[in-house]
Structure 1
């Protein structure tokens, strides 16, 4: 199957978005987890910061990643005219 230049540009942007959001996910999940004991020296809303990041903060970031992906992909689909027709 031959892809047009428009399709290649669409997939390049799709992959760039996915990689950047995965890097954010990795940072929140693993990098912050690695430094959790150091983060626990600080308090946030009365809880140790490391605990708060994993109990609440990481879930908020994960939700934001999903919202950003959906919103951006909908814009890309309309821009490159590859959105679903109903």
Structure 2
């Protein structure tokens, strides 16, 4: 006879672990996004003004183009990590 309570408990623990890992990935991605867009593009811009990149200072470059590159990399890293997480927990397509 199969104990349904132990299966439900195991499924719930697995589900909680999956969502915990999922939320952790999202929060790390948001922290990187915030640091690159707000931190480097606005708050730290005066400190980065002496470093030149392509004819513009680094703070201006991050505010205009650098954060876009970081966002694109974040998209691919997020998709890669989520695919790995899905395979780990057996919910991949």
5+ residue gaps, structure 1: none
Give, in angstroms, the shift of residue 36 of structure 1.
1.1
Q: Which of the numbers 42, 46, 50 marks the counterpart of 2:51?
A: 42
8 Å Cα contact 2:48/2:57 also seen in 1 = yes
Please identify runs of 4+ aligned residues in structure 1 that moved more than 6 A. Answer: none
TM-score for the superposition, normalised by structure 1: 0.86
Aligned to 1:7: 15
Q: What is the SS of the residue equivalent to 1:82?
A: coil
Q: What is the aligned-residue RMSD (CA, Å)? A: 1.5
CA distance in 1, matches of 2:47, 2:17: 42
Larger Rg: 2
- Is 1:31 the equivalent of 2:39? yes
Q: What is the SS of the residue equivalent to 2:62?
A: helix
Q: How many aligned residue pairs are there?
A: 83
CA distance in 2, matches of 1:52, 1:29: 11
Aligned to 1:65: 74
Give, in angstroms, the shift of residue 46 of structure 1.
2.1
5+ residue gaps, structure 2: 1-8
